[in-house]
Protein backbone atom coordinates (compact mmCIF):
# COMPACT_ATOMS: atom_id res chain seq x y z
CA UNK A 1 0.00 0.00 0.00
CA UNK A 2 2.83 2.46 0.88
CA UNK A 3 4.66 1.69 -2.39
CA UNK A 4 1.44 2.20 -4.35
CA UNK A 5 0.94 5.61 -2.72
CA UNK A 6 4.45 6.63 -3.71
CA UNK A 7 3.72 6.12 -7.41
CA UNK A 8 1.02 8.81 -7.23
CA UNK A 9 3.34 11.45 -5.77
CA UNK A 10 2.51 14.80 -7.38
CA UNK A 11 5.16 16.49 -9.49
CA UNK A 12 5.51 19.35 -6.96
CA UNK A 13 5.99 16.91 -4.07
CA UNK A 14 8.43 14.88 -6.16
CA UNK A 15 10.51 17.96 -6.99
CA UNK A 16 10.47 19.17 -3.38
CA UNK A 17 11.59 15.74 -2.19
CA UNK A 18 14.44 15.64 -4.69
CA UNK A 19 15.53 19.13 -3.63
CA UNK A 20 15.75 17.83 -0.05
CA UNK A 21 17.82 14.85 -1.22
CA UNK A 22 15.12 12.26 -0.53
CA UNK A 23 16.18 8.91 -1.99
CA UNK A 24 12.49 7.89 -2.20
CA UNK A 25 11.71 10.95 -4.35
CA UNK A 26 14.80 10.40 -6.48
CA UNK A 27 13.82 6.76 -7.05
CA UNK A 28 10.26 7.78 -7.94
CA UNK A 29 11.57 10.45 -10.34
CA UNK A 30 13.80 7.88 -12.02
CA UNK A 31 11.01 5.27 -12.25
CA UNK A 32 8.57 7.81 -13.66
CA UNK A 33 10.78 9.35 -16.34
CA UNK A 34 13.52 6.81 -17.14
CA UNK A 35 11.59 4.83 -19.81
CA UNK A 36 11.00 7.95 -21.95
CA UNK A 37 14.47 9.32 -21.31
CA UNK A 38 16.09 5.98 -22.17
CA UNK A 39 14.33 6.19 -25.54
CA UNK A 40 15.84 9.66 -26.03
CA UNK A 41 19.33 8.41 -25.12
CA UNK A 42 18.94 5.31 -27.27
CA UNK A 43 18.43 7.45 -30.39
CA UNK A 44 21.84 9.08 -29.83
CA UNK A 45 23.74 6.03 -28.57
CA UNK A 46 25.51 3.34 -30.56
CA UNK A 47 24.32 0.58 -28.21
CA UNK A 48 21.91 -0.05 -25.38
CA UNK A 49 24.83 -0.02 -22.93
CA UNK A 50 25.87 3.44 -24.14
CA UNK A 51 22.26 4.62 -23.84
CA UNK A 52 22.08 3.34 -20.26
CA UNK A 53 25.33 5.13 -19.42
CA UNK A 54 23.92 8.34 -20.90
CA UNK A 55 20.71 7.86 -18.90
CA UNK A 56 22.58 7.40 -15.61
CA UNK A 57 24.79 10.42 -16.26
CA UNK A 58 21.73 12.45 -17.25
CA UNK A 59 19.83 11.61 -14.06
CA UNK A 60 22.84 12.52 -11.94
CA UNK A 61 22.72 15.94 -13.61
CA UNK A 62 18.96 16.16 -13.09
CA UNK A 63 19.40 15.52 -9.35
CA UNK A 64 22.28 17.97 -8.96
CA UNK A 65 20.65 20.68 -11.10
CA UNK A 66 17.12 20.33 -9.71
CA UNK A 67 17.47 23.72 -8.01
CA UNK A 68 17.69 25.38 -11.45
CA UNK A 69 14.20 24.24 -12.53
CA UNK A 70 12.02 27.34 -12.37
CA UNK A 71 8.59 25.95 -13.30
CA UNK A 72 8.84 27.64 -16.70
CA UNK A 73 7.58 24.98 -19.08
CA UNK A 74 7.07 21.29 -18.46
CA UNK A 75 9.25 19.48 -15.96
CA UNK A 76 9.54 16.52 -18.34
CA UNK A 77 10.77 18.88 -21.07
CA UNK A 78 13.41 20.23 -18.68
CA UNK A 79 14.61 16.69 -17.94
CA UNK A 80 14.63 15.89 -21.66
CA UNK A 81 16.86 18.91 -22.43
CA UNK A 82 19.32 17.76 -19.78
CA UNK A 83 19.32 14.26 -21.30
CA UNK A 84 19.93 15.58 -24.83
CA UNK A 85 22.80 17.80 -23.65
CA UNK A 86 24.25 14.90 -21.65
CA UNK A 87 24.15 12.66 -24.73
CA UNK A 88 25.88 15.31 -26.86
CA UNK A 89 28.52 16.00 -24.22
CA UNK A 90 29.31 12.31 -23.80
CA UNK A 91 29.56 11.81 -27.56
CA UNK A 92 31.95 14.76 -27.82
CA UNK A 93 33.93 13.68 -24.74
CA UNK A 94 34.36 10.16 -26.08
CA UNK A 95 35.25 11.57 -29.49
CA UNK A 96 32.42 9.59 -31.05
CA UNK A 97 31.11 12.64 -32.85
CA UNK A 98 32.99 14.24 -35.68
CA UNK A 99 31.39 16.88 -37.88
CA UNK A 100 32.89 15.32 -40.99
CA UNK A 101 31.73 11.77 -40.27
CA UNK A 102 30.76 10.02 -43.47
CA UNK A 103 29.77 13.21 -45.29
CA UNK A 104 30.63 11.61 -48.62
CA UNK A 105 28.39 8.58 -48.08
CA UNK A 106 25.11 10.32 -48.79
CA UNK A 107 23.83 10.76 -52.29
CA UNK A 108 22.81 14.26 -53.34
CA UNK A 109 19.16 13.45 -53.92
CA UNK A 110 15.89 15.32 -53.79
CA UNK A 111 14.32 14.23 -50.51
CA UNK A 112 10.60 14.46 -50.04
CA UNK A 113 9.36 16.07 -46.85
CA UNK A 114 7.45 12.93 -45.89
CA UNK A 115 10.29 11.51 -43.80
CA UNK A 116 9.99 13.89 -40.80
CA UNK A 117 6.24 13.18 -40.67
CA UNK A 118 7.05 9.49 -40.19
CA UNK A 119 9.43 10.03 -37.27
CA UNK A 120 7.10 8.57 -34.67
CA UNK A 121 6.98 5.17 -36.37
CA UNK A 122 9.09 2.65 -34.49
CA UNK A 123 10.66 1.29 -37.67
CA UNK A 124 11.76 4.74 -38.75
CA UNK A 125 13.32 5.54 -35.39
CA UNK A 126 15.17 2.21 -35.51
CA UNK A 127 16.35 3.08 -39.03
CA UNK A 128 17.71 6.42 -37.79
CA UNK A 129 19.97 4.48 -35.43
CA UNK A 130 21.61 2.87 -38.50
CA UNK A 131 22.86 6.24 -39.73
CA UNK A 132 26.46 7.36 -39.09
CA UNK A 133 26.66 9.12 -35.75
CA UNK A 134 27.10 12.63 -37.17
CA UNK A 135 24.00 12.34 -39.34
CA UNK A 136 22.01 10.61 -36.60
CA UNK A 137 22.86 13.31 -34.08
CA UNK A 138 21.87 16.24 -36.29
CA UNK A 139 18.71 14.48 -37.50
CA UNK A 140 17.65 13.72 -33.91
CA UNK A 141 18.36 17.25 -32.72
CA UNK A 142 16.58 18.98 -35.61
CA UNK A 143 13.69 16.70 -36.64
CA UNK A 144 12.84 15.10 -33.30
CA UNK A 145 14.05 17.44 -30.55
CA UNK A 146 13.19 20.63 -32.46
CA UNK A 147 16.48 22.53 -32.14
CA UNK A 148 17.35 25.08 -34.82
CA UNK A 149 20.45 24.63 -36.97
CA UNK A 150 22.00 27.58 -35.16
CA UNK A 151 21.44 25.88 -31.78
CA UNK A 152 22.73 22.57 -33.13
CA UNK A 153 25.83 24.29 -34.46
CA UNK A 154 26.52 25.78 -31.03
CA UNK A 155 25.90 22.47 -29.23
CA UNK A 156 28.10 20.44 -31.56
CA UNK A 157 30.65 23.21 -32.16
CA UNK A 158 30.08 23.13 -35.90
CA UNK A 159 28.90 25.76 -38.35
CA UNK A 160 25.19 26.34 -38.90
CA UNK A 161 25.69 25.51 -42.59
CA UNK A 162 27.38 22.21 -41.62
CA UNK A 163 24.34 21.33 -39.51
CA UNK A 164 22.02 22.10 -42.45
CA UNK A 165 24.19 20.07 -44.81
CA UNK A 166 24.33 17.09 -42.46
CA UNK A 167 20.56 17.22 -41.95
CA UNK A 168 19.93 17.22 -45.71
CA UNK A 169 22.36 14.37 -46.25
CA UNK A 170 20.96 12.47 -43.25
CA UNK A 171 17.47 12.67 -44.74
CA UNK A 172 18.78 11.40 -48.09
CA UNK A 173 20.59 8.51 -46.46
CA UNK A 174 17.60 7.75 -44.22
CA UNK A 175 15.35 7.64 -47.26
CA UNK A 176 17.70 5.07 -48.80
CA UNK A 177 17.59 2.96 -45.62
CA UNK A 178 13.77 3.16 -45.53
CA UNK A 179 13.51 2.14 -49.19
CA UNK A 180 15.94 -0.73 -48.65
CA UNK A 181 13.86 -1.93 -45.66
CA UNK A 182 10.68 -1.49 -47.73
CA UNK A 183 9.25 0.95 -45.21
CA UNK A 184 9.11 3.65 -47.88
CA UNK A 185 8.36 3.16 -51.55
CA UNK A 186 11.18 3.95 -53.94
CA UNK A 187 10.50 7.19 -55.83
CA UNK A 188 10.98 7.44 -59.56
CA UNK A 189 14.71 8.07 -59.84
CA UNK A 190 14.78 9.77 -63.25
CA UNK A 191 18.07 8.20 -64.24
CA UNK A 192 19.76 8.66 -60.84
CA UNK A 193 20.99 5.63 -58.93
CA UNK A 194 21.00 5.28 -55.18
CA UNK A 195 24.37 4.67 -53.61
CA UNK A 196 24.78 1.31 -51.92
CA UNK A 197 24.45 1.43 -48.17
Q: What is the CATH number of the domain that holds 153?
A: 1.10.10.10
* Band of residue 24 on the pLDDT scale cut at 50, 70, 90: very high
Residue 4 lies in a domain: no
Give 106's pLDDT tier (boundaries 50, 70, 90): very low
Shared domain check, 106 and 178:
yes
Does residue 58 surpass a pLDDT of 80? yes
Query: Band of the pLDDT at 194, cuts 50, 70, 90?
Result: very low
The boundaries of the domain holding residue 143 are 98-197
CATH number of the domain within which 67 lies: 1.10.1740.10
pLDDT of residue 186: 65
33 in Cβ contact with 58 (< 8 Å): no
123 with 69, same domain? no
- Same domain? For 61 and 25 the reply is yes
Q: pLDDT band at 187, cuts 50/70/90?
A: low
Do 85 and 111 reside in the same domain of the chain?
no
- DSSP for the chain? -HHHHHTT--HHHHHHHHHTT-HHHHHHHHHHHHHHHHHHHHHH-SSHHHHHHHHHHHHHHHHHHGGG--SSS-HHHHHHHHHHHHHHHHHHHTT---TTTTTTTS------THHHHTTTSHHHHHHHTTS-HHHHHHHIIIIIS---HHHHHHHHTS-HHHHHHHHHHHHHHHHHHHHHTTSSPPPP-TT--PPP-
The reply to whether 116 and 186 lie within a common domain is: yes
Q: Is the domain of 50 the same as that of 23?
A: yes
Distance in angstroms (rounded) separating the CA atoms of residues 173 and 132 = 9
The pTM for the full model equals 0.73
Per-residue pLDDT band for 55 (boundaries 50, 70, 90) equals very high
Please report whether residue 3 resides in a domain: no
Do residues 85 and 114 share a domain? no
Residue 130, C-beta contacts closer than 8 angstroms, at least 6 positions apart: 177
What is the crossing angle of helices 23-44 and 75-93, to 10°?
60
Check whether residue 106 and residue 179 sit in a common domain: yes
Structural domain contains residue 118: yes
Residue 139 scores a pLDDT above 80 = yes
Taking alpha carbons only, the member of 94, 114, 118, 102 closest to residue 44 is: 94
Is residue 2 predicted with pLDDT exceeding 60? no
Residue 73 and residue 164 in one domain: no
Residue 50 lies in a domain: yes
Report the percent of the chain where pLDDT is more than 70.
74
Number of domains in the chain: 2
Kindly report the average pLDDT of the chain as a whole number: 79
Q: Note whether 83 and 118 are same-domain residues.
A: no
Distance CA 170, CA 128 (A): 9
Q: What percent of the chain has pLDDT over 90?
A: 48
For residues 53 and 83, state if they share a domain: yes
Mean pLDDT over 81-94 rounds to 90
Q: Based on the fold, state whether residues 110 and 185 are members of the same structural domain.
A: yes
Amino acid sequence: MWLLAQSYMSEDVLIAGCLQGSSISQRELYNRYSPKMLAVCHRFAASREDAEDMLQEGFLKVYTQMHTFQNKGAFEGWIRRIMVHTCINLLKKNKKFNESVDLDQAVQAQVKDNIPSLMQAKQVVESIRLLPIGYRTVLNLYAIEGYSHKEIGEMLEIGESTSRSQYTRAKALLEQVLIKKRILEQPELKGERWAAI
